[in-house]
Structure formats: structure tokens, C-alpha cells
Amino acid sequence: MMVKSMKVLITGAASGIGRKVAEVLVERGHFVYLTVHRPIELQKVQREIKSKNMKCLLLDITKEEERRRLLSLDIDCLINHAGIGYSGSLLTMPFSHLRDNFEVNFFASFALIQLLLPQLLEKEKGKIIIVSSLAGILPIPFLGSYCSSKAAISMFAKCFRQELKFTKSKLQVCLIEPGIYNTGFNDYMLENKEEAYFTKPYFSEPELLQSRMKQLFRLFGKNHYHSIVKQYVKAVEAKKMRKVYRAPFLSRIGMKLYLLFMG
């Protein structure tokens, strides 16, 4: 079946799943704008781009002036993929880190959607794909900051879908909730902490807690992105998007069993 070419904007796509999604969409005939956070990432991606149907842009999603530059783009589909994560206990985590998690994963994503909404509402087949996480469904200890921010964006997407029913627009909105993939993001999140997060008086075995978290990602992390990339592509090309796309299939069951085992 022939699919109409879409102009797609993917935020936070310097590497990992976002970057792979961009490459696959271009292979399938779509035009993709992908954004990266740092100048060094911009230079790297620009060197690696091999298609005229892919363009890399610099974007700090938390800065209004940088978000507003995207108004010059003509897009059919926004994939809100940018995100950050901190590990550590909610008992001891600095409030600034909790604020950062919500600033990027929720508030900045919300602001970008509102900014691009007028042009997307006018599209015949406009789409917004909001990327949450399995972590937005399951309460994972010592990832509470990240889990909470993802739960918030998931609920935003669900409410947003409901409100659109009261408009005359054909704009579609869906959620994508990836499970655990070994993109390097989870490892970075585990290291993105301070030793004080796991120290006394609350926690007597900080090393054990760290090893358990790493064990969780090793047990259930997938090395290949194919299953989740396929879900992104389905959402972009669907005549009528589903409410939620998830992969891999076993992540949710496995995580529930592991958390039950942890007690």
C-alpha cells in the first residue's frame, strides 16, 4: 500500500531510538527534521546524514526562543521524543533535579505542542505523537522523578485526545510507550545522580541498590530497536492511529514480576 509522504519533526533524535526512527522514515519516503540538544551532536549528525530528505536542527526544547524557530517549518507530524532522566531516591533527591525532569519531559513538551498546534490543526492529516515510557505506568524505585514526569505526559496526551473530540479538526494524537531498550539512555540515567542519593541515614546498602537497578536493565533491556521503531512508523503512516503503541511485548510483564520480586 502506497503511503502519502509526510513531513515529520522528531525532537531529541541525536542517537538511539529517535535517530533510528528518523532514518527508517526517510527510507520510506518521508521528509524528516530531527533535533539535537548540543552543537557537538549537530556537527556529528550533519556529517552522517546521507539523504537530502533529512535535516538536523539545534534545539534546546526548554528555551522559548529556540522553540519558536520551528514555526518556520512546514510539518505534518510532530514526534515529541526529547527527554531526560535522573536516578536517585525521592527521599533525598534535590528539588532542582525533579524540576529539570518535569521541565523537559512535561512542560517543554507541552509548550512545543501548543506552539505548533495552530498549523497542525489546519492539516488534512496532522498528527502529534507523544513519547512517554513504560516508566510512566510502573512505579520503579529510584527512578521516581523520571516515572512521575512520564506519567504526567501520558495523562496529558489522554486528556488532549479527549478535548480534540470537541473540535472540528482531523488532528490525531497518540502515545508511544517504549519498554526497556539498551540505547545508553538508561545507563546515563543511572549515572546521572549524586552519591548522597543512596547514603545513610535512609539507605544502608547503596551499592546493592545500584546493582539491582543495573540488573533490572540487563534482564529486560533489548539491544535491537526494531520492535519499537516499527510502532513509530505505524503511528506516522496509520490512516487512523491507535491510542497507544507499545513495545517490546514482554517488558511490561517482566518489569511487574521483577518489581514484585524486589518486594
| Contact yes or no for 70/9 (Cβ under 8 A) | yes
User: Residue 104 — very low, low, confident or very high, per pLDDT cuts 50/70/90?
Assistant: very high
Catalogue the active-site residues: 146
Angle, CA of 111, 117 and 122, to the nearest 5°: 175
User: Residue 35 — very low, low, confident or very high, per pLDDT cuts 50/70/90?
Assistant: very high
Mean pLDDT of the chain: 86
Distance CA 198, CA 217 (A): 19
Domains of the chain: 7-262 (3.40.50.720)
Q: What is the pLDDT of residues 129-182, one digit of tens each?
A: 999 998 898 887 788 899 999 999 999 999 999 999 999 899 999 999 998 766
Beta strands (DSSP E) in 74-131 are 77-80, 127-131
- Say if residue 201 is preceded by a cis peptide, omega within 30 of 0: yes
3-class secondary structure, 55 = strand
pTM of the predicted structure, to 2 decimals: 0.88
Place of cell 507523544: 130
- The reported pLDDT for the residue numbered 225 is 85
- The reported pLDDT for the residue numbered 222 is 66
Cell numbers linked to 7: 513531513
For residues 37-50, average pLDDT = 95
> Among 200, 202, 83, 211, which residue's Cα sits nearest to residue 148?
83
Residue 157 vs residues 34, 160, 239: alpha-carbon distances, Å: 21, 5, 19
Cell numbers linked to 125: 492529516
3-class secondary structure, 127 = strand
**pLDDT above 70: residue 86:** yes
